[in-house]
Chains A and B, each alone.
Chain A
Amino acid sequence: MVRISRVMLKEAGNAIDKTLSEILVCPLSKQPLRFCEKTKSLVSDTIGVSFPIKDGIPCLVPKDGKILDEDADASKAS
């Protein structure tokens, strides 16, 4: 029963994710967001910030945004 509900949650999650990226915009730049399958986050390409999605809830508080360039540099350095 738990397994079934977990699958349903994930499917619902995926459907929601797609809808979200169509409706929501970046809270800082107000530009459209892109749903990134790999990191399961919403990316604002205009300013290079990604916002996480936790438990199906997108976290679009400005201070929750992760700057993407820094991450890229960090992985290059390591």
Chain B
Amino acid sequence: MALRLLSSRRRLGSIVLSYRSPLASLHSHATSFGFQQVKEEEKSKLVSNVFTNVASSYDIMNDVMSAGLHRLWKERLVGKLSPFAGMKHLDVAGGTGDVAFRIFDAVNSVKRRALRKVDEASIEETQIYVCDINPNMLNVGKQRAAERGLSDNRSLVWVEGDAEALSFDDDSMDGYTIAFGIRNVTHIEKALAEAYRVLKRGGRFLCLELSHVDIPVFKELYDLYSFQVIPNLGELIAGDRDSYQYLVESVRRFPPQERFAKMIGDAGFEKVEYENLVGGVVAIHSAIKL
């Protein structure tokens, strides 16, 4: 009981501090690699190494760590997006294609259910761009596309790029998603600014990310699971304990729901909302560019 009081007081203190100096807290995200302190320039390289190492077991590890729940979370994300035929969508940090494939399926199944007269042209025009900074992740994604027979499909476009400096034109996208990616970006505010830039007016921003749990007891269990179980799973399945240690630490370092929502608003977005799933283990933040 005393322990919980102590930790909540400490948390309150750090929240007060960070509200006083938002720049300092952003800076601290840019220089934190999990619980380690690193130079800003180094962070992206360290993160890149993590994903190069885990790329081949990324999907399996997701299934194991979340007991398959990540699939439901992604379904929910895509559901919120309400994809439509002919849309131009950008999925950032979407390397292995999980979200992109779901959007693709959603668009094409709408076609199947709708009147057959409906716009073959629109279906053709649908463009889903998958952008990831790590080529290994993209290659896994392309492979999965090939396994589904989608290698030649012109709707899926794989691009290697940086979330902080996107290679897409202003006001060009109907939708922007980033699932479990924004946590790894060095400068969150830059990624959000880029998201704002590439979206059209009326475009939707959706972010699915591991977030903060506040529920007593459940929080302690979740911490236990994160720090005791996950790195061991990482060692067992991916042969890489350190990367998964980074993963659980980076989740703790990422801004909590309310503060992240404020950052999204600061980037210019409106109607910023978030939905907690599994008590806050993940949160889907959504917003619109108006």
The residues of A with any CB-CB pair to B shorter than 8 Å are 8-9, 12, 15-16, 19-20, 23-28, 30, 33, 54-62, 64
B205 to chain A, nearest CB (A): 19
Docked pose: A61 CA to B93 CA in angstroms: 13
Is B65 part of the binding interface, using a Cβ–Cβ cutoff of 8 Å? no
Question: Which residues of A sit under 8 angstroms from B160, Cβ to Cβ?
Answer: 54, 57-61, 64
State which of A12, A24, A28, A61 has its C-beta within 8 Å of the C-beta of B133.
Answer: A61
State which of B133, B135, B167, B169 has its C-beta within 8 Å of the C-beta of A54.
Answer: B135
B155 to chain A, nearest CB (A): 11
Q: Of all chain B residues, which has the CB nearest A20?
A: B157
Is B127 part of the binding interface, using a Cβ–Cβ cutoff of 8 Å? yes
Interface residues of B in 126-162 (CB under 8 A from A): 127, 133, 135, 138-139, 142, 151-152, 154, 157-162
Q: Report if A27-B167 is in contact (Cβ < 8 Å); known contacts: A54-B135, A58-B160.
A: yes
Is B165 part of the binding interface, using a Cβ–Cβ cutoff of 8 Å? yes
Question: Which residues of A sit under 8 angstroms from B170, Cβ to Cβ?
Answer: 30
Q: Are A23 and B127 in contact (CB under 8 A)?
A: yes
Question: Which residues of A sit under 8 angstroms from B168, Cβ to Cβ?
Answer: 23-25
18 contacts between A and B (CB under 8 A): A8-B152, A12-B151, A16-B154, A24-B167, A25-B167, A27-B161, A27-B166, A27-B167, A28-B165, A30-B169, A55-B139, A56-B142, A56-B158, A57-B135, A57-B142, A57-B158, A59-B135, A59-B161
The residues of B with any CB-CB pair to A shorter than 8 Å are 127, 133, 135, 138-139, 142, 151-152, 154, 157-162, 165-170, 172
Docked pose: A23 CA to B157 CA in angstroms: 10
Question: Which residues of A sit under 8 angstroms from B167, Cβ to Cβ?
Answer: 24-27, 33, 58, 60
Docked pose: A15 CA to B151 CA in angstroms: 13
Docked pose: A12 CA to B153 CA in angstroms: 9
Question: Which residues of A sit under 8 angstroms from B162, Cβ to Cβ?
Answer: 27, 60-62
Docked pose: A8 CA to B165 CA in angstroms: 32
State which of A20, A58, A59, A62 has its C-beta within 8 Å of the C-beta of B165.
Answer: A62
Docked pose: A54 CA to B138 CA in angstroms: 11
Question: Which residues of B sit under 8 angstroms from A26, Cβ to Cβ?
Answer: 167
Q: Of all chain A residues, which has the CB nearest B169?
A: A25
Docked pose: A61 CA to B172 CA in angstroms: 19
Docked pose: A64 CA to B158 CA in angstroms: 16
Docked pose: A54 CA to B166 CA in angstroms: 18
State which of B142, B154, B159 has its C-beta within 8 Å of the C-beta of A60.
Answer: B159
Which has the most chain A C-beta neighbours within 10 Å: B152, B160, B162, B170?
B160
Docked pose: A64 CA to B169 CA in angstroms: 19
Question: Which residues of A sit under 8 angstroms from B151, Cβ to Cβ?
Answer: 9, 12
Question: Which residues of B sit under 8 angstroms from A24, Cβ to Cβ?
Answer: 159, 167-168
Question: Which residues of B sit under 8 angstroms from A58, Cβ to Cβ?
Answer: 159-160, 167
Question: Which residues of A sit under 8 angstroms from B165, Cβ to Cβ?
Answer: 27-28, 61-62
B164 to chain A, nearest CB (A): 9
B167 to chain A, nearest CB (A): 4
Docked pose: A24 CA to B139 CA in angstroms: 20
A10 to chain B, nearest CB (A): 12
Which has the most chain A C-beta neighbours within 10 Å: B151, B167, B170?
B167
Docked pose: A70 CA to B254 CA in angstroms: 40
Question: Which residues of A sit under 8 angstroms from B139, Cβ to Cβ?
Answer: 55, 57
